């Protein structure tokens, strides 16, 4: 585990864990105007407790992706820490893009984690859907907690034709209605030997829009990728009009 610097309030570092390529970060909750730094996350976080979060991710088409690698783009709740103490549980839903020499495919997923059993950290992916989504599509994502478990609804827009996928409720989180934060993230996922290499993506990149959560985005702060061991980074635009964009490049 990397160790965060306790004297720098806005700094966060990533903990590498087994899983589908999604990580939680360790750092302090921040105040408006501050920035979180991470080795493999980029995007925005709302550092207030939430019961639901949503957003839409517009994936660039194949010609905008270059090289080989994997990138995850998602909406999440939880997984952050407060004053160095991990806050559980977390729940995430999104899309993973895999490219080989610029030929890319995409897959929807959900994933969760708990402090105690059965996961003791990040669980294996709860649900995946490899059909019905591809680069160039737009995916509207809504996640929440509930009496039967954490739920995720993902609606894929392919040129005006919409298909909605409802992931099975994650019963491990049955009855959980409050999560410590909300996130909208472009990620360099974790692999068997560390962080995966991302394909590069031309600006402006993927567009995250219609950001919303039950805390009304009351403590929204940017997350910037810094110190990625693959010498890659993600450029994130300023938040405005309910949206931001993110693209990946070799730094």
Which residue is it, tokens 């491990």? 172
**CA 68, CA 22: separation in Å to the nearest integer?**
19
Which residue is it, tokens 């031309």? 202
Q: Could you tell me if residue 118 is inside a domain?
A: yes
Q: Could you tell me if residue 46 is inside a domain?
A: yes
Q: Could you tell me if residue 4 is inside a domain?
A: no
**CA 226, CA 6: separation in Å to the nearest integer?**
17
Tokens representing residue 222 in the block: 């940017």
Biggest alpha carbon–alpha carbon distance for the chain: 50
**CA 70, CA 100: separation in Å to the nearest integer?**
9
Tally of helices (H runs) and strands (E runs) in the chain = 0, 24
Q: Could you tell me if residue 6 is inside a domain?
A: no
Q: Could you tell me if residue 225 is inside a domain?
A: yes
Q: Could you tell me if residue 62 is inside a domain?
A: yes
Q: Could you tell me if residue 188 is inside a domain?
A: yes
**CA 57, CA 189: separation in Å to the nearest integer?**
17
Q: The dihedral of CA 135, 38, 219, 142: what is its sign? A: positive
Parent domain of 51: 12-250
Tell me the pLDDT of the chain (251 aa) as tens digits.
222 222 222 333 333 232 333 343 333 344 556 888 889 999 999 989 999 999 999 999 999 999 999 999 999 998 765 444 556 889 999 999 999 987 999 999 999 988 888 887 788 778 999 999 999 999 999 999 999 999 999 999 999 999 999 999 999 999 999 999 999 999 999 877 799 999 999 999 999 999 999 999 999 999 999 999 999 999 999 999 999 999 999 99
* Domain count for the chain: 1
Q: The dihedral of CA 175, 180, 185, 188: what is its sign? A: negative
Q: Could you tell me if residue 215 is inside a domain?
A: yes
CATH number of the domain encompassing residue 219:
2.60.120.700
């Amino acid at each position: 585990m990397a160790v965060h610097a306790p004297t720098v309030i806005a700094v966060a570092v990533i903990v590498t864990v087994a899983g589908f390529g999604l990580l939680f970060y360790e750092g302090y909750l921040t105040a408006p105007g501050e920035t979180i730094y991470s080795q493999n996350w980029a995007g925005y976080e709302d550092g207030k407790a939430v019961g639901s979060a949503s957003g839409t991710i517009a994936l660039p088409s194949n010609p905008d992706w270059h090289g080989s690698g994997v990138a995850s783009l998602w909406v999440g709740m939880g997984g952050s820490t407060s004053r160095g103490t991990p806050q559980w549980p977390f729940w995430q839903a999104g899309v993973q893009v895999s490219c080989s020499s610029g030929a890319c495919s995409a897959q929807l997923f959900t994933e969760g984690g708990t402090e105690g059993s059965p996961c003791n950290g990040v669980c294996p992916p709860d649900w995946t859907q490899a059909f019905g989504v591809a680069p160039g599509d737009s995916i509207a994502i809504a996640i929440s907690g509930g009496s039967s478990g954490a739920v995720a609804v993902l609606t894929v827009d392919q040129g005006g034709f919409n298909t909605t996928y409802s992931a099975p409720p994650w019963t491990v989180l049955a009855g959980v209605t409050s999560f410590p934060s909300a996130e909208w993230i472009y990620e360099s996922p974790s692999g068997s030997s560390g962080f995966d290499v991302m394909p590069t993506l031309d600006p402006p990149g993927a567009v995250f829009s219609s950001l919303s959560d039950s805390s009304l985005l009351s403590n929204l702060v940017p997350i910037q990728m810094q110190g990625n061991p693959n010498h890659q980074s993600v450029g994130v635009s300023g938040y405005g009009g309910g949206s931001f964009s993110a693209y990946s490049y070799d730094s």
